[in-house]
A = this chain, B = another copy of it.
């Protein structure tokens, strides 16, 4: 039988990165392609204890729960955000099945066909997928190392009258960039002037390498109820829990909760209660420090090997946190073509092109350094350097 799908199916794409990963995971390949946290750092004992308590302490916590999320967890989240200067009440928080769901539910309640969203270029691929699935128009704003370029941002706000500006301002995926405080404030100023909502996606904010703090979150600087802020425990505890949250203006959070009720009633509450116990019984900040130290060391190993490449015109941003290197090769090199060579050599990366909204730079690539040991990073990078230098010679 032939099935009649909805129009929006045309705009649903499978992630190019996920498709690459499927191929790569089949072979014996050193992969810098994914965005996975290091498994040996998972706090298994603490997670085990937390689930044990969640299951055995209170039968009620195994019953159907509130769509908004477990109240005790929302209180703890409010407390943790307050420590970082982001002061919001539990009623402004919606617990979600990972921050991916926060992006999806927000899109569901905000966007009509044809609505414009401004983003950085390149930006988080899976957010683009969601936005496009709602038949919106995503427009890229020019950026430099400090964030969006304010003149271009204002010009595009004036021209396109966007409904939302989507940003990943701290240790971004894919570029690893950090927005400066000045740009954060300017963004808020323009959003207020033109009445545009900002969606601040912050999965990596905790993964900071420098002693020097990153600038405060945009949400914490917001005095006009303009910002939705989402984060997750996928990078700091374990991804399999699928617990994220979104905080923002009550009018929006309330409607998102209605959409969530229709979507999946509520987020897995065994995991929510486990997280309550984990946050109470376990020193998560000490644990996050261990993650930072480990990732910092790995980043330095990757940096050392990148510095050894003898290709003029290769450049990268040294990450101050997060999970990724963003590398630009000379203009004439094409990383999608190079990936085949690299995989033959036993190493993988993600070509940069899919992360672009428009004007894709085919000479870019993303390297993840969090999911391989320093020895494997060294081995894999040596292979990659060989592939790159070889390709350069033949170009």
Q: Residues of A with Cβ closer than 8 Å to B?
A: 1-9, 12-15, 18, 34, 36-37, 39-40, 42, 44, 47-48, 51-52, 55-56, 59-65, 67, 96-98, 100-101, 104, 108-112, 115, 126, 129-130, 133-134, 163, 195, 197, 224-226, 234, 238-242, 249, 251-252, 255, 258-259, 261-271, 273
Contact = CB atoms under 8 A, between A and B. Distances in A.
Given A97-B264, A270-B240, A13 B44 contact: no
Contacts of A44: 55-56, 59, 62
B8 A108 contact: yes
A6 B129 CA distance: 18
Interface centre among A18, A65, A239, A264 (most CB of B within 10 A): A264
A339 to B, nearest CB: 21
A266 to B, nearest CB: 7
Interface centre among A6, A56, A101 (most CB of B within 10 A): A6
11 contacts: A4-B110, A5-B255, A14-B261, A42-B62, A48-B52, A62-B238, A238-B270, A240-B270, A242-B264, A242-B265, A242-B268
Contact of A12 (B111, B240, B255, B264): B255
A278 B15 CA distance: 32
Top 9 A-B residue pairs of the complex, sorted by shortest distance between their CB atoms: A62-B238, A97-B264, A240-B269, A101-B264, A51-B51, A268-B268, A64-B239, A39-B59, A62-B240
Contacts of A109: 5-6, 8-9, 12
